[in-house]
Structure 1
Amino acid sequence: MNEDAIQLFMNARRQRVESYKESQMKKVAEEFMRTSIMPGYSYNFDWLGRPIIQYPQDMAAMQELIWKVKPDLILETGIAHGGSLIFSASMLALLEYCDAAEKGELLDPGNPIRRVLGIDIDIREHNRAAIEAHPMAGRIQMIQGSSVDAEVIQKVHAVAKEFSRILVCLDSMHTHDHVLAELEAYAPLVSPGSYCMVFDTIVEDLPEDFFSNRPWAKGNNPKTAVHEFLKTHREFEIDKEIEHKLLITVAPDGYLKRVE
């Protein structure tokens, strides 16, 4: 495929994605999201043997962004069963494999360069054991503690200073104050051109009583935190093209690109 044909393909894709914004597809996707969350649809999927608790569409977007950004470090808040850590680690392993292949070198799996750092207030022992026993474990470091605790933030920044290109995923407690504190703590680590992904911003778009048994709700959630954060952080902007392309996503307005 020559460059002209590739450009034509990409132009057609952009036009197609643009057409989704006000389409019947968007309405159908919104209805699917409303009806799929409470039955626990996102709990149905694994990545390399570990539950990932993400919608496949967001997993696809994460893959595209990791390939595009080529981070040295992926920082994640919220660990649960560890599927997302394994996902990120496997993508970083692929990046290193491709780097080595381009140079005509052999990849040394015992000396990983790119890393994943996960933070959770409660890393359950059975999950920790499964993550540490996984083939991707050599790329993963975990910190137990609140992601907004000053000591934890200090530890994370100490790790991050060893890396030059960083991507961040926020997916722990979904209240406004907690996510805003995470953004203030970790978004500055994001490299220009890289992303801070804020999950479960969809809470703001769901009915009032949808999360009656949770501390987050309409008006108090990751999306409200994102919009508050962006008021004073012009170095970030929402990459709307991602959610327009996905249609089905738990992170509307949650894909934040650092533009400066």
Structure 2
Amino acid sequence: MTNQDPIAAFHQERAERIVRYGRDEDFKRLSQDWLRESMARKYVYNFDWMGRPIIQYPQDMVAMQELIWAVRPDLIIETGIAHGGSLALSASMLALLDMCDAIEAGVSFDPRVSKRKVLGIDIDIRAHNRVAMERHPMASRIHMIEGSSVAGETVERVRGLAAGHSKVMVCLDSNHTHEHVLAELDAYAPLVSVGSYCVVFDTFVEDMPPGFFEDRPWDPGNNPKTAVRAYLERHPEFEIDRGMHDKLQITVAPDGFLKRI
């Protein structure tokens, strides 16, 4: 009979299972096939978060929830806003962190007053999306900037707003070409706190058939994953959290969960 703590045993069993997934070529191939077929059918467009469309797979939403809970950031920087669902997800998680901190400290708090914020950047914030997000219950936690995420004035503005925040997480999900993502990594990855993450979305493009995105400039050889590879060659302070991909299997960000060590 073992005296191992049952919670520790559960987590150990999970960790061993995830390692096996990483070695299971049949399972990985099935997952890749499903990702490709579901992407062709625009499955990723089917979901909302707190009433706003969020163009993410449910698995990646859960992954972001886990990372935010573990890191407990006070600033999340996101490039790419679209309908604002991802901003709502991040802001709602930050609100939960504040609530839990208050409960643990035995104090009351005003959810509208918090240091924890989400900063969203997009080159084109559609008027109807801006109005919807400004009226959203999470609006007090969200700040939006319209402009190219790699323009010098935008980068300087973001860096200024990030000053004073001790735990920063970054999510890159705008233009998915190699050049653009690499420029975003150069601009924003240095803001990521040690122990936190820069999550680079849509690295899966590298694993799709050539021409899969016929109406987009990105393709195998020119996409977020190639940018990640180039960035990591000169930035050993980041490493790929491969366990996240092994666990999720279905994700748009294979090799895209970059942890600052």
Q: TM-score range by the shorter chain?
A: over 0.9
Matched residue of 2:23: which SS?
coil
The normalised TM-score by structure 1 is: 0.98
Give structure 1 regions of 4+ aligned residues with deviation exceeding 3 angstroms: none
Which residue pairs with 1:128 in the alignment? 130
After TM superposition, list the pairs within 5 Å mapping 1:177-188 onto structure 2: 177-188=179-190
When the two chains are superposed, the root-mean-square deviation of aligned CA atoms in Å is 1.0
Matched, 1:11 2:12: yes
1:253 counterpart SS class: coil
| C-alpha distance in structure 2 between counterparts of 1:187 and 1:117, whole Å | 14
Given candidates 56, 59, 64, the residue that maps to 2:58 is 56
Percentage of identical aligned residues: 62
Q: Which residue identity is paired with 1:22? A: R
Gaps of 5+ in 2: none
CA distance in 1, matches of 2:32, 2:89: 26
Q: How does 1:48-127 map to 2 (within 5 A)?
A: 48-127=50-129
- Counterpart CA distance in 2 for 1:229 and 1:186 is 12
C-alpha contact (below 8 Å) 2:98/2:111 kept by paired residues: no
Secondary structure in structure 1 of the residue aligned to 2:165: coil
**Displacement of 1:3:** 7.1
Post-superposition CA distance 1:48-89 (Å, at most 9, x none): 000010000000000000000000000000000000000000
What secondary structure, in the 3-state scheme, does the structure 1 residue paired with 2:101 have? helix
Q: Distance in 2 between matches of 1:182 and 1:192?
A: 18
The corresponding residue for 2:34 is: 32
The answer for the alignment partner of 1:192 in structure 2 is 194
Aligned to 1:144: 146
Aligned partners of 2:112 and 2:141 also within 8 Å: no
Cα distance in 2 for partners of 1:127, 1:35 equals: 29
Task: Find the residue that maps to 1:74 and give its secondary structure.
Answer: strand
How does 1:166-181 map onto structure 2 within 5 Å?
Answer: 166-181=168-183
How many angstroms does 1:6 deviate by?
1.5
In the superposition, the TM-score normalised over structure 2's length comes to 0.97
Corresponding residue number in structure 2 for 1:163: 165
In structure 2, C-alpha distance between the alignment counterparts of 1:3 and 1:235, rounded to whole Å: 35
Identify which of 223, 235, 250 aligns with 2:237.
Answer: 235
Q: How many residues align?
A: 258
- SS of the residue corresponding to residue 234 of structure 2 reads coil
Which amino acid in structure 2 is aligned with residue 94 of structure 1?
Answer: L
Q: What's the counterpart of residue 155 of structure 2?
A: 153
Could you tell me which runs of 5 or more consecutive residues in structure 1 were left unpaired when the two chains were aligned: none
Measured in 2, the distance between the counterparts of 1:55 and 1:250 equals 8
**Equivalent-residue separation in structure 2 for 1:50 and 1:106 (angstroms):** 29
Q: Deviations over 1:137-187 (max 9, x none)?
A: 000000000000000000000000121100000000000000000000000
Q: Distance in 1 between matches of 2:87 and 2:215?
A: 27
Aligned residue in 2 for 1:21: 22
